[in-house]
A and B are shown apart, each in its own frame.
Chain A
């Protein structure tokens, strides 16, 4: 990165004056802005106290665990998600879905997810050449460093204080930048409202003390919901007792959906 306006680098030869001027301006701005900032904080106090009753988002930080070894590919999570969140009932729009990985003996990997796994998976004819095969539930990873939030030009997608990435559908202009930016394909354009939609961790349930609908209905307990970095939470227990991986760690998105027993071929 080039030196931004806030970078405090060592003044190189011939840059001493610029650095001095920058420091001077910064101190001027700080001195002028301090009373303003103080006034804003005071003005916001009552608004912050009004929020959802008895729920303080600053006390929470949510994540999800997925045990790939437990997923039976029944697709109940995708079905429950559609029922809970009014997701369009077609085969192209999902907030969560189940992928079937089939890794052939000669190394080729095939992935399919017909209707998100809701209606089951068609039988394969070529079982003989298969080396290993398994199901992987997918959803928004609620990245701590979300590329979708960075690219939104109007601030319509954001991370809440409890670590959930949400979309403000009344403010979204439908430009699809976030859909392009998401490396996990977790976002889609709602065909009716023409706004971006995605998994919300069932935020409306979570603030009421319920777990997300997909976690509620998972019959094998393959999905675990809880708080990151709170030792008593089921998610932290899951992370202690399993070797954890995340999807596409090289992209530095810092996902908060943690996978156990994840095959190296999963992308």
Chain B
């Protein structure tokens, strides 16, 4: 290894160390060469990934044009829909992905579901759906006729909106009808905002929160009919609200 002009410290390095150094150099060169070949060019430009992968994903074709695209041409229908219960339902929910229609309105006409099978996807009765969401039993609700004979999908207000509480709360109404409270209107005990008909979950009716409320009729000395059962509010299980034990809609309310 050591020639005539090499410095003393170089020739002092033992031969086996040179060999070891050579092996390490070859390994390092191999590693660098392998990384050159195996690691893609722009890997790590934005993070631990190929930067151009993002461009490939971004280049994917858009199928759903979005509600704003519909509004540009179909103003009358959009206006009508914006005043209806379906104001939150985008056009492409029923009419399908329509990016092609936006690009070429003549060649690509959007389909419209006119069969009875489509609307129950949302409006068929399902106990898992949130209470208050308008649902029908497709077997019983005006059988055979397509939904669009009575309901305009762009303004689907039913011909007879629910007027009484029993329209939705039928089970309570039926038990109350045979209970001692049959003569009382629901509003005797529940304060109901008028808008509860429209958005039942946002504006819930109130319930009596005090014993004194029931005591208006049922406390000893209350100015009510003599056949109404009365209790001493101070002695009768103090600390509980009455309806925790007595369900007021049941026939056996007592």
Residue from B56, B88, B126 having most chain A Cβ neighbours under 10 A: B126
* Min CB gap B65→A, angstroms: 8
Tell me whether B54 and A166 are in contact (CB under 8 A).
yes
Contact with A along B40-56 (1 / 0, CB 8 A): 10110111111101111
Contact of A48 with B by CB under 8 A: yes
Contact of A168 with B by CB under 8 A: yes
Chain A hits for B42, CB < 8 A: 47
Tell me whether B129 and A216 are in contact (CB under 8 A).
no
Pick the residue among B49, B64, B96 that contacts A158 (CB under 8 A).
Answer: B49
Contact of A159 with B by CB under 8 A: yes
A69 to B202, CA, bound (A): 11
Chain A hits for B90, CB < 8 A: 216-217, 219
A211 to B46, CA, bound (A): 24
Contact of B58 with A by CB under 8 A: yes
Chain A hits for B48, CB < 8 A: 155, 158
Which residues of chain A from 67 to 121 have a CB within 8 Å of any chain B CB?
69-76, 80, 83-85, 100-102, 120-121
B86 closest partner in A (C-beta): A219
Pick the residue among A74, A133, A161, A219 that contacts B127 (CB under 8 A).
Answer: A133
The answer to whether A83 and B64 touch (CB under 8 A), given A135-B129, A155-B43, is yes
The answer to whether A168 and B63 touch (CB under 8 A), given A83-B97, A133-B128, A219-B88, is no
A205 to B54, CA, bound (A): 13
Tell me whether A204 and B59 are in contact (CB under 8 A).
yes
Chain A hits for B60, CB < 8 A: 85, 204
Tell me whether B45 and A80 are in contact (CB under 8 A).
no
Tell me whether A80 and B121 are in contact (CB under 8 A).
no
* Min CB gap B100→A, angstroms: 12
Residues of B within 8 A of A (CB): 40, 42-43, 45-51, 53-64, 66-67, 86, 88-90, 92-93, 96-97, 120-122, 124, 126-130, 133, 201
Residues of A within 8 A of B (CB): 44, 47-48, 51-52, 69-76, 80, 83-85, 100-102, 120-121, 123-124, 127, 130, 133-135, 155-161, 166, 168-171, 200, 203-205, 207-208, 210-211, 213, 216-217, 219-221
